[in-house]
Structure 1
Amino acid sequence: MILQDTIVALATPSGAGAVAIIRLSGNEAIPIANDVFRSVRSKDLNRLKTHTIHLGHIVDGDKVLDQVLVSLFKNPNSYTGEDVVEISCHGSTFIQQQIIQLLLRKGARMATAGEFTLRSFLNGKMDLSQAEAVADLINSDNEASHQIAMQQMRGGFSNEIAKLREELLNFASLIELELDFSEEDVEFADRTQFKELLNRIEFVLKRLIDSFAVGNVIKNGIPVAIVGEPNVGKSTLLNALLNEERAIVSDIAGTTRDTIEDELVINGVGFRFIDTAGIRETKDVVESIGIQKTFEKMEQAQVVLYLFEGTKFQELGYEYLSEIEKIKNRFPLKPLVIVINKMDLLSETALEEIKQRLSSADLQLSTLFIAAKNKAGVEELKERLYSFVNTGALRNNETIVTNTRHYDSLLKALEEIQKVNYGLQSNLPADLMAIDIRQALYYFGEITGQVTNDELLGNIFANFCIGK
């Protein structure tokens, strides 16, 4: 894939603002910009140094469109590795469109989604996993996802993969060399060292694969389902967690007929709270659909908050314990937090009685007491939710995989490495091991873009915003 024309796009979000940036990249970026730019000091952009900024006006013939600042980045020292010009104009949508249309008439072409970053990749300014991190960085909406994207963009993940690939490639070369001298029955690759390398690669691959469980939820947010009977305070709890009146609250049972979702960042990690319809027997068709959706959301959630009203739990405690057991059996792998609401309405005696029942059912450690209306216990609940996230890798600045494509390639690479390891233990011929080694190298190369095709690149960069 060779792209040699000059592209243009708005690099800032569309719509009106104080300032907008229009970006040009390509061989003709500077001449095109120079043709429409009139410097206040009569400067010629073609003769100016890279990484400089110049004040002037964008003109269409005798018509002045705007006063602007023009930034020059000459190849190869630019984001794309090509000549890049950025025009900082006033943020009127009319001005933006007038300047872009003028640049199109002068010979530029509208950039496609992610084309600036695609050119950066094709020109060797970054590898494919770093390019994908650019999109993750733009979309990061909490501290944890931002930290992971920055680490990947700086090449942390790429460097780890590249090092493994290089070591494997060195041994692969020796194995291939043995094939050239197969008639002489010689071994160039030290089998003991090769075994150690395979074990080390397998260990690293398993660690990276396991990190996806954490990385995926951090990147996309951790879904938390709030479930329970009607009118126990699910919507009140959601409002208390979000610190705003997001869900409708009333004394009428079944007010929430559909699921309501909103997000909250706790200690830098995103959580998606889902307020569901109350679980109960009902003949109301619409409410029944809402209850069915509740179970669907519980299936999708990473954590389930099972909410009970304190006074009712005191009266029907044993029935509720049976319901809790059913939920635990239905979703055995999901963290379940039992939340007893309206604790402010309970006497000390009633509170102690409930705790004893929970203790006898071995549920005391899984239970929190709150008063959602007064926001009592809500901060403790947030801390409990945060405890379900394995943040050790984040604190230790370890590489965390968040990309499904990378995860898939790592799984395939691990499978091939395990085949090679098995072949080594079984004393398989070098030519058979060489096939599996080549496949492992192929999957490593897929991650960083050393092995790629136009279809793959099209799928990846189609998810970028235009102008990046």
Structure 2
Amino acid sequence: MTIQDTIVALATPSGSGAIGVIRVSGSKAIDFCNPIFFSRSRKSLLEQTSHTVQLGLIKDGDRVIDEALVTVFKGQRSYTAEPSVEISCHGSYFILNEVIQLLVQKGCRVANAGEFTMRAFLNGKMDLSQAEAVADLIASDNAASHQMAMQQMRGGFSNQLKELRQELLDFASLIELELDFSEEDVEFANREQFQNLILKIQKTLQYLIDSFAVGNVLKKGIPVAIVGEPNVGKSTLLNAFLNEERAIVSDIAGTTRDSIEDEISINGIGFRFIDTAGIRVTDDKIEGLGIKKTFEKIEQSQIVLRLIDSPSLFNEDSKTPTLESLKTEIDKLKSEFSHKPILVIANKLDGLTGDQKEVLQLEFDDIHFISAKQKQGIGDLKEKLTSLVDTGALQSQDAIVTNARHYASLQAALKEINEVQEGLNQGLTTDLLAIDLRQALYHFGEITGEVTNDELLGNIFANFCIGK
């Protein structure tokens, strides 16, 4: 792979459709496309003004392949910052493949995954974190993940890091200068100002590191475990959330023996609901494995919905737990997982009397009443779920970290900055301070792409789709 090649790829999903767009980029993009395109205006693509569209025929010799619209981007005024052409054909797999093969015959090379965006990065159109946000934007499937990707693509926290890195680089230059005059015992870098900068960087890095906990789950979907005894209505609740028959519903206890997961968007936020196996004492080995997995899913979830069969609590013949034992079990659950919300959901509301409802309200703080079967109270429960999500950073347009690579680099940078601060406090020599500063600058550069290598770029852009 070389950046000097002119590359071609289908930019729209493969398969039949109304329209398919073929993207060509490279120094000879217009030269290679010009011989196969015959415009209605008889104007050559070489003569066409940048950012304009022409209608014409795509031909292989005398054979007409398709009628298409061709858009030309000249000079550096394109996505990749190099001459580009976009051909909008009819979306037949045969037509699109014929046009791509024709361009390959003219001298193009088929693009690798993410190669257009990689060229945009290498040509200075965006930094590395912005390039990675392009993939996140394409993969976004709800308003929250879309907004985070857009924030990052427009600069996000990379602009903050660039400013801090430049300030740190300025001080690092002065520190390095002091090394050249070490025998004269001079001090170019004001230590008080340097301390203030270090404190500022520490605060920013810590905020960004902390934001990853929210950003990562928002990006992937917030995991919500639905937990309870067999036949309390867990699968029915999952189906009510999804508004489809996703999970099997049966009166036979122990029907769900493994976790079932599905994701929906509520008020623009992705939630990943997990219908777990019913919790009870059982001799069935398979069901027992499912119950063990239930507790693993509780650990992995961000929110737990503890569903109860509310009418059965007032039925003396019921095999389900008594009100007292249930309260003890839920208190234990809240104590064991005190770091996450445990919502008590009283199902089968339609089978409760007014007095029984009051008893449950007295026993459990902030209990939510629903009828999963009748879909009563589901809207209020959805509102409660969204209220538990800390989206303050999104609402205020603050920077938020969603990328694990960025998270690791931020942690490494903070570690080195802490070393610099400790060195300043202990009055370390200039040469030792300079070592920690170089390392901190290195980790800053890893995020935005000032520091990179071919292996890193290959790993990042290999996850992109072809044509982007």
Return the TM-score normalized by structure 2. 0.96
> Paired residue for 2:218?
218
Structure 1 residue 2 displacement after superposition:
5.1
Is the Cα–Cα contact under 8 Å of residues 224 and 302 in structure 1 kept in the other structure?
Answer: yes
Which of 323, 330, 355 in structure 1 is aligned with 2:329?
Answer: 323
Structure 2 CA distance for aligned equivalents of residues 356 and 69 of structure 1:
69
Is the Cα–Cα contact under 8 Å of residues 30 and 85 in structure 1 kept in the other structure?
Answer: yes
Is 1:397 the counterpart of 2:397 in the alignment?
Answer: yes
Which of 339, 349, 363 in structure 1 is aligned with 2:355?
Answer: 349
More off after superposition, 320-329 vs 187-196? 320-329
Is 1:227 the counterpart of 2:215 in the alignment?
Answer: no
Structure 1 CA distance for aligned equivalents of residues 363 and 165 of structure 2:
57
> Paired residue for 1:263?
263
Matches within 5 A, 1:89-100: 89-100=89-100
Structure 1 residue 343 displacement after superposition:
1.7
Is 1:74 the counterpart of 2:74 in the alignment?
Answer: yes
Structure 2 CA distance for aligned equivalents of residues 420 and 350 of structure 1:
63
Matches within 5 A, 1:12-411: 12-315=12-315, 316-358=322-364, 364-365=365-366, 367-411=367-411
More off after superposition, 324-333 vs 159-168? 324-333
Structure 1 CA distance for aligned equivalents of residues 44 and 262 of structure 2:
52
> Paired residue for 1:361?
none
Is the Cα–Cα contact under 8 Å of residues 34 and 46 in structure 2 kept in the other structure?
Answer: yes
Q: Compared with structure 1, are the counterparts of its residues 69 and 357 closer, same or farther at alpha carbon in structure 2 (3 Å cutoff)? A: same
3-state SS of the aligned residue for 1:257? Answer: coil
Q: CA RMSD in A?
A: 1.3
Is the Cα–Cα contact under 8 Å of residues 227 and 279 in structure 1 kept in the other structure?
Answer: yes
Structure 1 CA distance for aligned equivalents of residues 94 and 376 of structure 2:
51
3-state SS of the aligned residue for 1:98? Answer: helix
Structure 2 CA distance for aligned equivalents of residues 313 and 132 of structure 1:
52
Structure 2 CA distance for aligned equivalents of residues 398 and 415 of structure 1:
23
Structure 2 CA distance for aligned equivalents of residues 402 and 426 of structure 1:
36
Is the Cα–Cα contact under 8 Å of residues 53 and 69 in structure 1 kept in the other structure?
Answer: yes
Structure 2 CA distance for aligned equivalents of residues 213 and 75 of structure 1:
42
Q: How far does the alpha carbon of each residue in 1:92-117 deviate from its partner, in whole angstroms, 9 at most, with x for none?
A: 11111111111111111111100000
Q: Which amino acid aligns with 1:133?
A: A
Is the Cα–Cα contact under 8 Å of residues 223 and 302 in structure 2 kept in the other structure?
Answer: yes
More off after superposition, 310-319 vs 343-352? 310-319
Matches within 5 A, 1:398-437: 398-437=398-437
Structure 2 CA distance for aligned equivalents of residues 234 and 43 of structure 1:
66
> Paired residue for 1:447?
447
Q: Which ranges of 4 or more aligned residues in structure 1 deviate by more than 6 Å?
A: none
Q: Compared with structure 1, are the counterparts of its residues 2 and 173 closer, same or farther at alpha carbon in structure 2 (3 Å cutoff)? A: farther
Structure 1 residue 49 displacement after superposition:
1.6
Structure 1 residue 292 displacement after superposition:
2.3
Structure 2 CA distance for aligned equivalents of residues 376 and 114 of structure 1:
47
Structure 2 CA distance for aligned equivalents of residues 161 and 434 of structure 1:
19
3-state SS of the aligned residue for 1:307? Answer: strand
Q: Which amino acid aligns with 1:63?
A: R
Q: Which amino acid aligns with 2:192?
A: T
Structure 1 residue 286 displacement after superposition:
2.7
Would you say how many aligned residue pairs link Structure 1 and Structure 2?
Answer: 462
Structure 1 CA distance for aligned equivalents of residues 115 and 395 of structure 2:
34
Structure 2 CA distance for aligned equivalents of residues 79 and 277 of structure 1:
49
Structure 1 residue 330 displacement after superposition:
3.6
3-state SS of the aligned residue for 2:246? Answer: coil
Is the Cα–Cα contact under 8 Å of residues 314 and 354 in structure 1 kept in the other structure?
Answer: no
The percent identity for this pair of structures is: 64
Structure 2 CA distance for aligned equivalents of residues 69 and 447 of structure 1:
39
Q: How far does the alpha carbon of each residue in 1:368-418 deviate from its partner, in whole angstroms, 9 at most, with x for none?
A: 111111222212211221122111111111000001001110001111111
Is the Cα–Cα contact under 8 Å of residues 276 and 294 in structure 2 kept in the other structure?
Answer: yes
Structure 2 CA distance for aligned equivalents of residues 34 and 215 of structure 1:
46
Q: How far does the alpha carbon of each residue in 1:224-277 deviate from its partner, in whole angstroms, 9 at most, with x for none?
A: 010111111111111111222222212221222222111111121100001112
Is the Cα–Cα contact under 8 Å of residues 6 and 28 in structure 1 kept in the other structure?
Answer: yes
3-state SS of the aligned residue for 2:46? Answer: helix
Structure 1 CA distance for aligned equivalents of residues 459 and 332 of structure 2:
43
Structure 2 CA distance for aligned equivalents of residues 418 and 368 of structure 1:
46
Is the Cα–Cα contact under 8 Å of residues 313 and 354 in structure 1 kept in the other structure?
Answer: no
Structure 2 CA distance for aligned equivalents of residues 276 and 441 of structure 1:
46
Is the Cα–Cα contact under 8 Å of residues 156 and 400 in structure 2 kept in the other structure?
Answer: no
More off after superposition, 416-425 vs 236-245? 236-245
Unaligned runs of 5+ in 2: 316-321
Structure 1 residue 419 displacement after superposition:
0.7
Q: Which amino acid aligns with 1:223?
A: P
Unaligned runs of 5+ in 1: 359-363
> Paired residue for 1:6?
6
